[in-house]
Each structure stands twice: as structure tokens, then as C-alpha cells.
A and B are shown apart, each in its own frame.
Chain A
């Protein structure tokens, strides 16, 4: 079977073209030995089936980043290359085209965003370009579908280019090509372009960013909670619970197997949140509590990505992130973590260096509470009004910043500088968006869910073997002495490893005062990530870095909790 590669600069509509060409059956995988992913699908040319690979966007074949390294390695596997070129940006895009021509591989050029180029007053003589380069050039508009059939029918004409040039003179040659084939007429700025400029200027960009983030949270809450309430909870309560109850009678309560598989019955019933069995809580957590938020977050993230907003957000927050040893784009894992730490942890892989991944994963796991936890904290501490809430979230924010500055100072290496293209705003193309959403969700199910279940199993076994009780006893003096919490709070801290929001809920019957609630909420947020996040972090960081990170988490939680306890006492709270 022939392998066809889809190659081009980032933001040229490559993935839209990919979804046009392939349809439903696509899979995402990591390039062996890397965390850079690519998507693969099938395509029919005449009667023949061919593999189509969506290569990560690249500006050059001379790799300057891990994604570009993968792109140039994938190049060796391709029989034919569809070089996707942005018609609105011909000059820069031709650089990669000429590089491909110098490699003497059969290529066909898709002159994409053709309709957009016409709207922006650019006209390109595709025939003339074809003659100059010596490879087929097909104008396409992936979003409207214009030119796609023509592109597929001409794939067989792909050939090595005949445009003779050297690496040194390529820019001047590109300049003369562009001069020959392209005409630009004057035109007015569009609304999207005005908005584009407004969103990178601080005075207007910061309010826009706040509005976008607010909208994002509202949408995610509505979708996530809607899915939980109307889809997943009913499935578990009505369909799964009766099956488990029957199994429970067979196994009889109190046996080891019952404890591990089903856990404890609460008032003779299954409680999917508190029973803590592999088949109860172990399935409920990843599917009914995490998945809906992950799905909602990926939907919104894909929308923000395809619209071109994310790099702008990165630019706005870059100077803050730079102090923490990160650059602007690492705001994405943090931001995802607010929904659920699991996809946040998975998103750290977009960062280039190990140092960046370590800093961002550690900061996120310690200081970014997930949506469920935020909701519980608001419910519990909210009765003390803004003072209580700002104490909790203000402390977390301060720790986030201070910890980042410290990590940036003690870890060897440099803070990378942001360098990113700010693409034009585009209205996302729904089929491509949903294809991406499906691929990502499947990937989450495949890569994260099994580990979450294994994690719950491990905790259960430790629980059944009374190891957890023992840890609780050992930690008790620390909790009562240093943190000033009652002995019963230890149980909440232990459960927090499994479910942070439930743990916060367990504090409510203890009759704690404001100081104790604030300290407990902060410590619960910081001391350790939930088991699902923990397992995913081990996968992303490796066991050694994760161990370091865990030590930082535990010590900083105790330190911050202790300080908070002393300070609040001093103020008579």
C-alpha cells in the first residue's frame, strides 16, 4: 500500500484537508520514542487504497523542535507528499516546498486557503507556479471542499520538482517566483483581523482573555455536568448498580475479594463515590467523573486551537510564565488542570524540554485544584464569604508563583523564549474539530483510563491490608500538631488520594472553624494529586522525576499548611 504524507507549515488548514480526504477511520499514535503524535487514516485513489499520514506542521526539514524532528523522520516513510501551502502566505510557505524539491521526492502542491486568499485580495497564477516548480499545483479550499476531487485525481501525477536552485539563493529565487505568480490588490481590514490585533495588545487583549476564559469555564461546566447528570450517573445507577448488588450478595460483604472488587456498602447500598471498590468507584471515577470533563475540555480546547486563539493567550501571559521557567504556551496544561488534572498532566507533553515538563506538572499538581474540588471548597468555605475563599485560592496562587520562581532558580537550565506564529483567526471547521475530539477522547480512554483503574486497585489492596490506616496513624501527630486540625481530618486526607472533592466533603461534618477549614482545603489541594493524576504523571514524567515532584508536594503542603495555621492563629481566626 502506498503511503502519502500530508506536509506543510502549521496553521495552513492541514488537518481540515486531512479530515476531508480520510473520513471516519483515523487513529492517533505517538512517533516511537517520542511524545509527538501524528494522525493516520486511509484514502481511496481510483480503486486503490492508500495510507495518509497527517505529519506535524513544520516550517523546515532541518529540525528545530521535536515536532519537526518527527516530521523529517516521517518523510522517509512517504512514497508521495502532498505539500499543503497557504495561498495567503505564499512566500514563507514556498521555503518548505523548495526544501522538498531539493530532496527529489515526488510531491504535489495543494494551494490551500484559496478562497481566503481571494478575499484578502491575493491572486495567484497556479498554472504558472506549476510550470516554474515542475510539480502539480492544485488550488484547494479544504473548508468548502473546493478542489479536493481535483487534488485526489492528480495525486498520481506527483513528481520530483525540476526547479533548480541552491540552498543559499532560495530566498531570492522565492522572491522572484512570488513576484511572477502573485498579484496583491488593496483591500480593507476584515472584522476578524481587527479582533486579531486587539487580542495581542495588552489594553484590549487582557479583557478579551478574561472573557474567553470565563466563557470557557461556563461551557465546560454546562457540558461536563450535563453529561454526568443526564448520561453517566443514570447509566451507573440504573444499569450497573443492580448487577453489582447481585455480585455483592454472591461474594458476601467483608471478604477480601468483596473489599477489592466492590468495596464497602454504605447503608446496604452501593455508593459509587464512597464504596471504593474496583468495579464501583474504580469505574465510576474515570468514566462518570473524569471523562465528561475531559470530553468537554477537549471540545473547547480544540475549538480554541482551530480558531487560532491559543497562541495569543500564550503571548499575553508569557512574561509571568517566564519568571517560572516556562513560556507562555505552558499556560495550556495549567488551564486544562483547572477542569481536571488528568488532561492537564497529559498536556505537559506539548512542552519541549524535560525541565519545562517537570516544572509545569509539579506546579499544576500542587496548586491547580480541579473543577470538582473547587466546587466543594466553594461550598464549604463559602460561608465565610470572600475572605475565606480568597484565603484559600489566594494562598494557592501565591504558592504557585513562589514555587515556580524557586524551581526556576534551583533547576539547571534556561527558561525557553516563546517564538510562535500568530495565525489569522479562522472559524473552526466542524467535521475536522469533531474528528480531533474523537481521536483525543479515544486516546484518553486508551492511555489514561486503564492506569486509573490499576491505581484504584492498588490503593484498595493497600486499604484492605490496613497500610492506609497505618499511614493515617503515623501522620496524625503532624496533622493535629502542626496543622491544628482534629484527628478525624486524617481520614479525609487519606481519602483525598482517591477523590479530592469527596475528601473536602468529609470535612463538613467535623464542625471546623474558618482557620481549620482554610488550612485543610489548602493542604488537601496541595499535598498529593489524586490517584488518576498521579498515575498519568508517572507516565509523563517517568518514575524518578515523579518521585522528586511528590516529595516537593508533600513537604510544601505541610510547610504552607503549618505557616497558614500559625498566621491565621496570630490574627485570631
Chain B
């Protein structure tokens, strides 16, 4: 997710992280199988903003690196 371009869309295929992180992501609608669209990135490995359904979420760069997104060609 950290490497996606702004404006690109894809589907989450895996989330590597502790149970706490996975629970937190899940409760906010971020889980394997959902579609995400990247809204923006910040300079200096800043947080990533993504759109999931009707929700926009900002997520730290380190956490975003643990979320694998498949972007269709």
C-alpha cells in the first residue's frame, strides 16, 4: 500500500501484523478482500491516505508497508 501511486486502486490481499493491529484495521473496515483507492501520500515516508467504501483513512507509512495490495494491470 505504501508503494501505490496516488489515484491507483487495488484489492487488499494480505495484512502482516499483530493481532491488535489487525483488529484495529478490521474495525475500521480495512481487511483482506476489500478494495482500496490511494488518495494521497506525504513526503518523507509520511502517512498514506486511502479510500475504502465511504471512509477515508490515514495510516502510518510503517503500517501501510505491512498491507499488501494487488493492483490490476
A interface residues (Cβ-Cβ under 8 A, vs B): 59-60, 62, 64-65, 86, 88-92, 95-96, 171, 196-197, 200-202, 205, 311, 314-316, 318-320, 322, 327-328, 416-423
Q: Which residues of A contact B49 (CB under 8 A)?
A: 200, 315, 422
Q: Whose C-beta in chain B lies nearest to the C-beta of A197?
A: B39
Q: Which residues of A contact B53 (CB under 8 A)?
A: 89, 91-92
Distance in angstroms between the alpha carbons of A316 and B42 in the assembled complex = 7
Check B57 against A419 for contact (C-beta < 8 Å).
yes
Check A417 against B27 for contact (C-beta < 8 Å).
no
Check B29 against A420 for contact (C-beta < 8 Å).
no
Check B40 against A419 for contact (C-beta < 8 Å).
no
Distance in angstroms between the alpha carbons of A197 and B50 in the assembled complex = 11
B44 to nearest A CB, angstroms? 4
Distance in angstroms between the alpha carbons of A320 and B44 in the assembled complex = 8
Interface pairs (16), CB distance under 8 Å: A60-B26, A89-B54, A89-B55, A200-B49, A202-B42, A205-B40, A311-B58, A314-B58, A318-B42, A318-B58, A319-B42, A418-B59, A419-B24, A419-B60, A421-B58, A423-B56
Quick one: given A202-B40, A318-B47, are A419 and B59 in contact (CB under 8 Å)? yes
Check A418 against B58 for contact (C-beta < 8 Å).
yes
Quick one: given A91-B53, A319-B45, are A420 and B58 in contact (CB under 8 Å)? yes
Distance in angstroms between the alpha carbons of A421 and B50 in the assembled complex = 10
Distance in angstroms between the alpha carbons of A419 and B21 in the assembled complex = 10
B53 to nearest A CB, angstroms? 5
What is the total number of residues of chain B having a CB less than 8 Å from a CB of chain A? 31
Distance in angstroms between the alpha carbons of A445 and B61 in the assembled complex = 40
Q: Which residues of A contact B42 (CB under 8 A)?
A: 202, 315-316, 318-319
Interface-central residue, B20, B25, B42, B45, by most chain A CB under 10 Å? B42
Quick one: given A92-B53, A95-B29, A419-B63, are A328 and B47 in contact (CB under 8 Å)? yes
Contact with A along B1-44 (1 / 0, CB 8 A): 00000100000000000001001111111010000000110111
- For the complex of A and B, the 3 pairs showing the least CB-CB separation, nearest first, are A417-B60, A319-B46, A60-B27
Distance in angstroms between the alpha carbons of A421 and B61 in the assembled complex = 15
A103 to nearest B CB, angstroms? 15
Q: Which residues of A contact B57 (CB under 8 A)?
A: 419-422
Check A319 against B39 for contact (C-beta < 8 Å).
no
Distance in angstroms between the alpha carbons of A423 and B43 in the assembled complex = 22
Q: Which residues of B contact A59 (CB under 8 A)?
A: 24, 27-28
Q: Which residues of B contact A315 (CB under 8 A)?
A: 42, 46-47, 49, 58
Which listed residue, A92, A95, A197, A416, touches B54 by the CB 8 Å rule?
A92
Q: Whose C-beta in chain A lies nearest to the C-beta of B48?
A: A315
Check A417 against B63 for contact (C-beta < 8 Å).
yes
Check A422 against B59 for contact (C-beta < 8 Å).
no
Q: Which residues of B contact A422 (CB under 8 A)?
A: 49, 56-58
Q: Whose C-beta in chain A lies nearest to the C-beta of B32?
A: A171
Q: Which residues of B contact A90 (CB under 8 A)?
A: 54
Q: Which residues of A contact B52 (CB under 8 A)?
A: 92
Q: Which residues of A contact B59 (CB under 8 A)?
A: 417-419
Distance in angstroms between the alpha carbons of A196 and B51 in the assembled complex = 12
Q: Which residues of B contact A420 (CB under 8 A)?
A: 57-58
Which listed residue, A60, A197, A202, touches B23 by the CB 8 Å rule?
A60
Distance in angstroms between the alpha carbons of A91 and B47 in the assembled complex = 24
Check A419 against B58 for contact (C-beta < 8 Å).
yes
Check A418 against B55 for contact (C-beta < 8 Å).
no
Q: Which residues of A contact B46 (CB under 8 A)?
A: 315-316, 318-319, 322
Q: Which residues of B contact A419 (CB under 8 A)?
A: 24-25, 28, 57-60, 63
Check B60 against A327 for contact (C-beta < 8 Å).
yes
Q: Whose C-beta in chain A lies nearest to the C-beta of B63?
A: A417
Distance in angstroms between the alpha carbons of A86 and B29 in the assembled complex = 14
Q: Which residues of B contact A92 (CB under 8 A)?
A: 28-29, 52-55
A463 to nearest B CB, angstroms? 48
Q: Which residues of B contact A60 (CB under 8 A)?
A: 23-24, 26-27
Quick one: given A201-B6, A315-B49, are A64 and B24 in contact (CB under 8 Å)? yes
Distance in angstroms between the alpha carbons of A91 and B53 in the assembled complex = 8
Q: Whose C-beta in chain A lies nearest to the C-beta of B56?
A: A422
Q: Which residues of B contact A197 (CB under 8 A)?
A: 39-40
Which listed residue, B26, B28, B62, touches A417 by the CB 8 Å rule?
B62
Q: Whose C-beta in chain A lies nearest to the C-beta of B6?
A: A201
Q: Whose C-beta in chain A lies nearest to the C-beta of B45?
A: A319
